[in-house]
Amino acid sequence: MTSLTLALSKGRILEDTLPLLAAAGIEPEEDPLDSRKLVFATNREGLRLLVIRAADVPTFVAYGAADLGVAGKDVLIEHGGQDLYEPLDLGIAKCRLMVAGLPGALEGAANRPLRVATKYIETARAHFARAGRQVELIKLYGSMELAPIVGLADVIVDLVDTGNTLRANGLEPFETIREISSRLVVNKAAMKMKHDRIEELLDVFNRTTEAQRTQSRAGGK
């Protein structure tokens, strides 16, 4: 039996991925949310799971260390993504990638390059280039919302879901760069070499995500 390795993003995405796996009938040998292990066998013969940092999933899959992966669209855009197939939107970990800042921040920087703090440097560069706006990009690894408050940047490019983090820090959303959700990605060589096994798994995920969409529509969500 062909073996398959599926790389999962830990953190928020993992919390949304585990119910999806359960609905697809895939059970890890122990609960990844409650374990220090990084590799998990499953009840499906030959299928193992890796649990790794969200930003590393595209790298593991692109190099073939994992055949498939679950990654946020934000991470995939920043990675570049042309070395991966992205066959399925899982519809989980939904949020928006936005430009935000203190009220009036854009007007305040109208006559000089806009200072932008973000961990999405390439995405932000492309976005402001499309808009014809000169920027100075400042790389951060987290807590982006702090940057405008302490004068490190005029605006941030970061993920927004409920808007609670922006509000709690006195920031306003200015503009949505794009809607984000998590995607199933596949290594290009594996798609050829392990085609039947991967198609079978894609089919299971397809049916599961479709059933969940129908359910949430019926629930009025």
Binding positions for ligand PRP, rule: CB under 6 A: 12, 142-143, 145, 158-165
Neighbours of 117 (CB within 10 A): 25
Q: What is the token pair recorded at 35?
A: 């374990």
Strand order in the sheet with 172-180: 135-139, 114-118, 155-160, 95-101, 172-180
Q: Give the per-residue contact string, 91-110, with ligand ATP (x = CB under 6 A; - = no).
A: --xxx---------------
CB 183 to ligand ATP: min, Å: 9
CB 79 to ligand ATP: min, Å: 11
CA 89 to chain centre: 11
Neighbours of 103 (CB within 10 A): 11
Q: Which residue in the shown chain puts its C-beta closest to ligand ATP?
A: 72
For residue 12, state whether it binds ligand ATP (rule: CB under 6 A): yes
CA 9 to chain centre: 8
CB 111 to ligand ATP: min, Å: 33
Exactly one of 22, 25, 53, 178 binds ligand ATP (CB under 6 A); that residue is 53
Nearest to 191 by CA among 100, 67, 104: 67
Residues 125-184 that bind ligand ATP (CB under 6 A): 142, 159, 161, 180, 182
For residue 21, state whether it binds ligand ATP (rule: CB under 6 A): no
What is the rounded CA–CA span in Å between residue 196 and residue 144?
Answer: 43
Q: In this complex, which beta carbon is closest to ligand PRP, that of residue 145 or of residue 154? A: 145
What is the rounded CA–CA span in Å between residue 85 and residue 212?
Answer: 23
What is the rounded CA–CA span in Å between residue 145 and residue 165?
Answer: 8
Q: In this complex, which beta carbon is closest to ligand PRP, that of residue 45 or of residue 161? A: 161
What is the rounded CA–CA span in Å between residue 63 and residue 213?
Answer: 32
Q: Say if strands 172-180 and 114-118 run parallel, antiparallel, or are unpaired.
A: unpaired
CB 117 to ligand PRP: min, Å: 12
Q: In this complex, which beta carbon is closest to ligand ATP, that of residue 93 or of residue 135? A: 93
Q: Of the ranges 30-38, 43-51, 53-61, 189-197, which one interacts with ligand ATP (CB under 6 A)?
A: 53-61
For residue 72, state whether it binds ligand ATP (rule: CB under 6 A): yes
Interaction site with ligand ATP (CB under 6 A): 9, 11-13, 53-55, 72, 74-75, 93-95, 142, 159, 161, 180, 182
